[in-house]
Amino acid sequence: MDQKEKWDPDFAKRKAIQAILAPLIPAFSIQLGGSTSIDVTRPGIDKAYGVRKLHETLGMSIADMIFVGDAIFPGGNDYPAKQAGAESIRVRDPHETKRVVEAICACLETGDRQMAR
């Protein structure tokens, strides 16, 4: 993880790659993610699309969803989930993601026990 974070800490390298790719493949969306990734997808196929699909498939309200990601900022590949209306928690890395998800699950379990009383 240290090597990944050192490679492009300010997104400058990936922004340069994004600027080169955009005119070469205009039929695709190019978004920056995490510490080293560049997502190349069809326009509209992003984290917001995934949130909407979960809503449609599960019948769950988007307002009841929690999204955890490391690139929840304008231009980041996780930002569309926030824009779609999912409650969003920004994390630094996979280890923090694990801790956040564990904490959410523990709170939900505690809430279930409280409701059962």
Mean pLDDT of 32-60: 92
DSSP 76: B
Does 79 score more than 90 pLDDT? yes
Question: What is this structure's pTM?
Answer: 0.77
- Structural domains in the chain, CATH included, are 2-89 (3.30.1240)
Mean pLDDT of 108-112: 79
Amino acid at 42: R
What is the separation, in whole angstroms, between the first and last Cα of the chain?
A: 44
Mean pLDDT of 91-107: 94
pLDDT category at 9 given cuts 50, 70, 90 is: confident
- Which of 24-28, 71-75, 101-105 is least confident? 71-75
Quick one: tokens of 99? Answer: 């801790």
